[in-house]
Amino acid sequence: MEFPINHDTPITYPGPQPDSADVIVIGAGIIGVCTALFLARDGYKVALLEKGRVAAEQSSRNWGWIRQQGRDPDEMPIMSEAQRLWSELATQTNVDIGLRQGGITYFANKASQLADYEEWLPHARANGVDSKILSQAEVAAMFPGMAGPSVGALVTPSDLRAEPWVAVPALAAIAAREGVQIIESCAVRSLDITAGRVAGVVTEQGRIAADNVVLAGGAWSALFLRNHGVSMPQLSVRENVAATEPLPEIYAGAAANRKVAFRRREDGGYTLAPPGAPELFIGPDAWRALPHYMTQLRASPFGQVLHPFAPKGFPDAWTTKRRWRSDEVTPFEAMRILNPAPNMGKINRLLRNFAEMFPDLPPVKLKAAWAGMIDTMPDIVPVVDQVESLPGLTIGTGMSGHGFGIGPGMGRVLAALATGGEVGHDLSRFRLSRFTDGSPMILGPNV
């Protein structure tokens, strides 16, 4: 399978769509796939609807990290559950998803950065995670060929990695075998609302009746909600990713310094990405959401690169429709796959930075480059909640670049939340109302 997923290949799940379901899940990325899987395991009839292809957007374009390290304290219990579920699910797939325990390491180039890592450590200990601080000498021994300053590091040996473009379709295949009806190239145009509550959805193929709907639409979620009068300050930022040709192994896991994040891949190459400054394309929603992002902007005024116009058809492009009827062609049909072009200047800089970081490596050659749009929130944690104004609708979105790793845990939580089951975690941090009830914006940890 190519990476990211080649959306020109034949559709795996063509349908047709059912007339009814117990629960409909909108969006077949990692969150939607896992939610549908656990709903099916709870005995529900589930329809998983995807406007394009399974995992063809950010779920196959991410870095492939499955990390507990540096998580928001309120995400940590769900992430611990996700780690266990990943190990279980990997034994149930028909393919090797590349799940490996290689660890994750964050290098510190100054003492203040190391102090930030130490400040986060109690959250790891509270959740039984094996994170620890490495001294400068320990870093040198662990990465003997690494150039550049490092006063220490934060490492979590138990953290995992996997190949996202293989893993998410493999999880979808488990869901399909367990009864989930997956339909690709089937955009949900709107919710079907009867007597003030959800009664199903209207797709481009027609109506499907259901008492419960889970929205896991990634970068498209806020646009879908706005058409139903629900405002959510979710934006999308572009991240660029490079894959190298095979190289000698310098580390079996994933690591990052201030210039480059890297992960060992199963084909012998490394996946490279810039660890900071994602790119925001400014559109109408960005202006509307600006007050919610002021805390983040003040904390990191140069933490993002701004572009004045989103490409045509993007969720927050100036020309993208914000209102439509259920009998109209929607933005979801106009752009089946959100496929941003990579910033090749950043890609080439990544290759140079990685080569300079490990000067004893053979020439670092580019195998592939791509970009993805990450759905992000003002406080860098997701919305996982039921919509009070639309009974029957549950949201799981805004994973802020953390969705691949936490996906199985969050899917299990969303399945329970949507159907009145035992959630097992405190979700108050992730409530939708935090953006309207006067709560202060509390940023997730910057580690």
DSSP line for 415-439: HHHHHT----S--GGG-GGGGTS--
CA nearest neighbour of 279 among 224, 316, 246, 244: 316
Instruction: Say whether the peptide bond before residue 382 is cis (omega within 30 degrees of 0).
Output: no
Q: Which of 172, 26, 184, 179 is nearest to 97 (CA)?
A: 172
Give the chain's largest Cα–Cα span. 67
Distance from CA of residue 350 to its chain's centroid? 21
- Structure confidence at residue 446 as a pLDDT band (50, 70, 90): low
* DSSP run (H or E) holding 96: none
Mean pLDDT of 185-202: 97
pTM of the model: 0.97
The residue count for the chain? 447
Contact between residue 366 and residue 354 where contact means Cβ atoms under 8 Å apart:
no
Q: What is the mean pLDDT of residues 215-222?
A: 98
Q: What pLDDT score was predicted for residue 303? A: 74
Are 313 and 334 in contact, with CB atoms under 8 Å apart?
Answer: yes
Q: Are 367 and 244 in contact (CB under 8 A)?
A: yes
Is the pLDDT reported for residue 236 higher than 90? yes
Amino acid letter, residue 346: K
**Euclidean distance between CA atoms 57 and 63, whole angstroms:** 13
Tell me if 385 sits within 8 A of 394, measured CB to CB: yes
Residues pairing with 213 in the sheet: 24, 393
pLDDT digits (tens, 9 = 90+) for 406-435: 999 999 999 999 999 999 999 999 999 999
What residues does each domain of the chain span?
A: 23-435
Reported confidence tier of residue 35, pLDDT bands at 50, 70, 90: very high
Rg, Å, the chain Cα set: 21
Binned at pLDDT 50, 70 and 90, residue 128 comes out as: very high
**Average pLDDT of the chain, as a whole number:** 95
d(CA 415, CA 422): 9
- What pLDDT was estimated at residue 2? 61
- pLDDT for the residue 306: 86
Cβ neighbours of 228 (radius 10 Å): 15
Q: Give, in degrees to the nearest 5, the angle at Cα 34 between 79 and 154.
A: 25
Please answer whether residues 302 and 327 qualify as being in contact, where contact means their C-beta atoms are separated by less than 8 angstroms.
no
Q: What is the pLDDT of residues 59-105, one digit of tens each?
A: 999 999 999 999 999 999 999 999 999 999 999 999 999 999 999 99
Q: Give the three-state DSSP class for 46.
A: strand
Question: At 1, is the pLDDT very low, low, confident or very high (cuts 50, 70, 90)?
Answer: very low
Q: What average pLDDT does the segment 43-61 reach?
A: 96
- Is the pLDDT score of 444 beyond 90? no
- Strand runs (DSSP E) across 197-335, as ranges? 197-203, 206-209, 212-215, 235-244, 254-256, 261-264, 270-273, 279-281, 305-307
pLDDT digits (tens, 9 = 90+) for 310-322: 899 999 999 999 9
Beta bridge partners of 323: none
Tell me: the pLDDT tens digits for 390-402?
999 999 999 998 8
CA 366 – CA 347 distance, rounded (Å): 9
279-309 residue pLDDT tens: 999 999 999 999 999 898 888 866 778 888 8
Contacts of 369 (CB under 8 A, 6+ apart): 240, 241, 242, 243, 342, 344, 347
User: Residue 299 has which token pair?
Assistant: 């904390």
| Per-residue pLDDT, 140 | 95
- Residue entry with tokens 């202060």: 440
Taking only the tens place, the pLDDT of each residue in 321-359 is: 999 999 999 999 999 999 999 999 999 999 999 999 999
Domain 23-435 has CATH 3.50.50.60: yes
Give the pLDDT confidence score for residue 309 in this predicted structure: 87
The H or E element spanning position 397 is strand 393-397
